[in-house]
Amino acid sequence: MNEFRQLEKFDLSDYGDDFLLTWEKSLSELKATVYVAEILNELHKRRKSFRYFDAGLAISIFRDKSTRTRYSFAAAANALGLTVEALDEEKSQISHGETVRETASMLSFLTEVIGIRDDMYLGVGNSYMREVAEAVDESYKAEVLHQRPSLVNLQSDLDHPTQSLADLLALKTYFGSLDELRGKKLVMSWAYSPSYGKPLSVPQGIVALMSRFGMQLTLAHPEGYELVPGIVQSAERHAEESGGSFQIVNDMKEAFANADVVYPKSWAPINIMRQRTELLRDSDYEHLTDLEKSCLAQNLQHENWECTEELMKTTKNGKALYMHCLPADITDVSCKQGEVAASVFERYRLDTYREAGFKPFVIAAMIYLMRVPNPVQTLAKLMED
């Protein structure tokens, strides 16, 4: 496979113990993750096992609801030979005041990987993951743990790397190669939703990652729906370094013009998410209800931000690829008015399923590259067998 020949050229010695943010990884490490995921996907398609571990745990910690990511993590860990165990915080000693440092260490005996989703509170999720990482570091160095488990970010307040890399693999498959992404116009657009408090991590993950592959990236949103400034600045820098471009517009129609790929997805205003975090920290549910009403009223001012058939006709040859992390808010299907017209979503529905289908292989690739010594040579033997 060409992907394997590319892998042999990469230095993966510094891939690291954890995968928390895509912008902490080198371009070679990101490409390697995509190529390994593609190889594992092909092996599974051919009904060939890529099991590596004889024993060990994969612990999942979901502090928010999940379907695709939860079961993708479980499927990936199981395919590699790990037993998956989900932490229920309400049934653990966390509910009695057990510290993050203690919980992390107690979970980690015979554990190979910990997957964490903590995306609801801006300024909290990424910090929580790093506190877990520091705890297992300390216990490993003190020889409390025989090995240090790896951490995988299954969505934080800043980034959703398993999603954005699955999206990248979907784009590679659609256009033929990562090189073919260069010069393609991708629109990451806010879209109307009748729900409140959706994280910023998906759009942030998309602009931060796709800007590294020479794409012409357009971020579209109404005023007041800005992303975390530092991540946007990183996307601008990545675009310049990769020979691509990055712009921000406040008009969905302007953004869609001549686009190759569109990604209409709702997220909450950054000031709402900051207020929400403080109110939840203080258990101030009365003012939280008021904040929700305020956010929904703000969303209603932009109800026309919908991916319609008319907008899709303005894309390149009227045939841009529609992408979504799912579940989408579909007008007259899942809600009265939503992110995307029912006819548009139905036309691309199976494409979005295929997009989601890459996620377990991306997660398996992350685990593989973090945990397997000499991963390229081991993979070569696996392919030979």
Considering only 1-5, 186-190, 244-248, 306-310, which range has the smallest mean pLDDT?
Answer: 1-5
What pLDDT is recorded for position 8? 86
Residue 197 has pLDDT above 90, yes or no: no
Q: Taking the CA of residue 235 as centre, how many other CA atoms within 13 Å lie in the half-sphere pointing to its CB? A: 26
Q: What are the start-end ranges of the H helices in the chain?
A: 2-7, 27-45, 68-79, 100-107, 125-141, 161-175, 201-210, 229-242, 252-256, 270-281, 285-300, 309-313, 342-357, 359-371, 375-384
How far apart CA 329 and CA 191 sit, in angstroms, is 9
**222 closest CA partner among 306, 103, 343:** 306
DSSP structure string for 250-281: S-HHHHHTT-SEEEE-----HHHHHHHHHHHH
What pLDDT is recorded for position 345? 98
Chain segment 129-153, per-residue pLDDT in tens = 999 999 999 999 999 999 999 999 9
Ramachandran class of 186: left when φ > 0, alpha when ψ lies in -120 to 50, beta otherwise: beta
Query: Contact, 150 vs 112, CB < 8 A?
Result: yes
**383 closest CA partner among 25, 33, 41, 27:** 41
- Specify the CATH number of the domain 2-159+359-384: 3.40.50.1370
Chain segment 78-117, per-residue pLDDT in tens = 999 999 999 988 778 877 788 999 999 999 999 999 999 9
Pick the CATH number of 163-357 from 3.40.50.920, 3.90.226.10, 3.40.50.300, 3.40.50.1370: 3.40.50.1370
Residue 170 has pLDDT above 80, yes or no: yes
Measured from the Cβ of residue 75, the count of other Cβ atoms closer than 10 Å reads: 17
Q: Please report which confidence band the pLDDT of residue 381 belongs to, taking 50, 70 and 90 as the band edges.
A: confident
Chain segment 12-64, per-residue pLDDT in tens = 989 999 999 999 999 999 999 999 999 999 999 999 999 999 999 999 999 98
Chain segment 268-301, per-residue pLDDT in tens = 999 999 998 999 888 888 898 999 999 999 999 9
Structure tokens, 364:
């398996």
Average pLDDT, the chain: 95
Q: Which residues contact 365 (CB under 8 A, 6 or more apart)?
A: 33, 34, 36, 37, 40
What pLDDT is recorded for position 305? 98
What pLDDT is recorded for position 97? 80
What is the DSSP secondary structure assignment for residue 194, as one 8-state letter? Answer: S
Report domain extents, the chain: 2-159+359-384, 163-357
What pLDDT is recorded for position 48? 93
What pLDDT is recorded for position 307? 98
Q: Please report which confidence band the pLDDT of residue 352 belongs to, taking 50, 70 and 90 as the band edges.
A: very high
Residue 2 has pLDDT above 90, yes or no: no
How far apart CA 187 and CA 171 sit, in angstroms, is 13
- Which residue has better confidence, 332 or 8? 332
Percent of the chain topping pLDDT 90 = 86
Amino acid (1-letter code) at residue 73 = F
**358 closest CA partner among 81, 30, 76, 115:** 76
Chain segment 62-84, per-residue pLDDT in tens = 998 899 999 999 999 999 999 99
Q: Helix (H, G, I), strand (E, B), or coil: what is residue 132? A: helix
Structure tokens, 108:
């980690």
Query: Contact, 58 vs 73, CB < 8 A?
Result: yes
- Equal CATH topology for 2-159+359-384 and 163-357: yes
Q: Helix (H, G, I), strand (E, B), or coil: what is residue 11? A: coil
Structure tokens, 105:
């260490």
